[in-house]
Amino acid sequence: MTSFTKIADSSFDNKKTHLATSFVQFSRILVGMDFSEPAVKALQLAVTIAAEFGAELFIVHAVSPFMYGDAQEPMPAAVLGAQLEAAKNKMKELVASEPRLVGLRLKTTVAPGAALDLIDEVSTEDKVTLVVLGSHGASGLEKVVLGSVAETALRKLSCPVLIVGPKCHIVQHPFRSILFASDLNTTGLRAAQYASALSEHVDGRITMLHVIENRPNLLGLDFDLFENALRQKLQRLLPSDVELFCSPKIRIEVGSPAQIITKVAESESASLIIVGLRNRSALADHSPWSTLSNVVREARCGVLVVRSHLL
């Protein structure tokens, strides 16, 4: 719940909080691939972004070296070899099935190990600037999205992670309409700068959103004054030169953050949702994960998660 005292104490006249638009270049994009429908959809979006930026694309698939997934019984060498060969053939078929890969710089990796370990290894070695992951969105989605793969990716990777949910529609211009959702606590300047930079890249639109979970009791203070303070704080997250390429829309809504974010994304025809997470403390709090999980499950566009350390 937003605190009026905290907002009122903020200094909106401090020009040092305004930064100029930062250049964002997704020059190396990695897709985690398990050959499922969500992963293929993630690849489709990654290809679109790679074409937009002229980026190099990395498709990574990990083959578990154990007999039964998480079990600790090693797979016999002959069986592991057969699994690797089958996975490599699947990767070749996948690449052949996506004609838009022609002309892109492409590197595929099929190797034994845990998925996140392989993603982390390739991301580090090849200086990846964006990781794209698919989400199944089944009844256990929160565990899938915010469990071992995505949560560990957000903990370990310094680059943004784009999560493609089950209802995501792959569009030709994924940055044309960006919804930047901020709780004004765990979302900071870095995520806001990604929103403005990506919007500037394509002359797109930005909607700034803050959701008040419960309408506060202001003890006689005007709610309009409270709302205006929130609007100013949202505006302060954007670079000072943002008006040169777009006119951001500021929205303050009351209700469930996950439901409101999804609803506003639809009403604004958002092609991308951007959220931010604080480096460590937010990862220990269940609330941001729960909200993110539900947004990913329902959103009709990708959700870009940006950790809050500065560019």
Rounded average pLDDT over 177-193? 84
* Topology alike, domains 4-21+170-307 and 28-128: yes
| Tokens describing residue 218 | 């202001």
Q: What CATH number does domain 28-128 carry, 3.40.50.2300, 3.30.470.10, 3.40.50.970, 3.40.50.620?
A: 3.40.50.620
Q: Say which DSSP state 246 is in.
A: -
Q: Rounded to an integer, what is the distance from CA 288 to the centroid of its chain?
A: 13
Tell me if 163 sits within 8 A of 291, measured CB to CB: no
| pLDDT at position 264 | 98
4-21+170-307 sits in which CATH class? alpha beta
Rounded average pLDDT over 211-220? 75
Residues whose CB is less than 8 angstroms from the CB of residue 139 and which lie 6 or more positions away in sequence, other chains included? none
User: pLDDT higher for 73 or 79?
Assistant: 79
Confidence of residue 5 (pLDDT cuts 50, 70, 90): very low
Element (H, E) at 109: strand 105-112
Q: Is the pLDDT of residue 143 over 50?
A: no
| pLDDT at position 156 | 78
Rounded average pLDDT over 272-296? 71
In the block, tokens 């959702």 appear at: 181
| Tokens describing residue 182 | 């901020």
Residues whose CB is less than 8 angstroms from the CB of residue 99 and which lie 6 or more positions away in sequence, other chains included? none
Domain range list for the chain: 4-21+170-307, 28-128
Rounded average pLDDT over 163-168? 91
Please give the Cα distance from 22 to 198 (Å, whole number).
Answer: 9
Rounded average pLDDT over 190-209? 89
| pLDDT at position 1 | 35
List beta partners, residue 177: 205
Q: Is the pLDDT of residue 251 over 90?
A: yes
266, HSE (Cβ side, Cα atoms, 13 Å):
11
Please give the Cα distance from 18 to 21 (Å, whole number).
Answer: 9
Residue whose C-alpha is closest to residue 210's, from 253, 267, 266, 270: 253
Residues whose CB is less than 8 angstroms from the CB of residue 179 and which lie 6 or more positions away in sequence, other chains included? 207, 209, 261, 264, 265, 268, 270, 272, 273, 274
Residue whose C-alpha is closest to residue 301's, from 182, 179, 193: 179
User: pLDDT higher for 89 or 225?
Assistant: 89
Where is mean pLDDT largest: 136-145, 214-223, 253-262?
253-262
Q: Is the pLDDT of residue 38 over 60?
A: yes
Confidence of residue 137 (pLDDT cuts 50, 70, 90): low
Please give the Cα distance from 311 to 296 (Å, whole number).
Answer: 25
Please give the Cα distance from 64 to 66 (Å, whole number).
Answer: 5
Q: Is the pLDDT of residue 110 over 70?
A: yes
| Amino acid code (one letter) for 311 | L
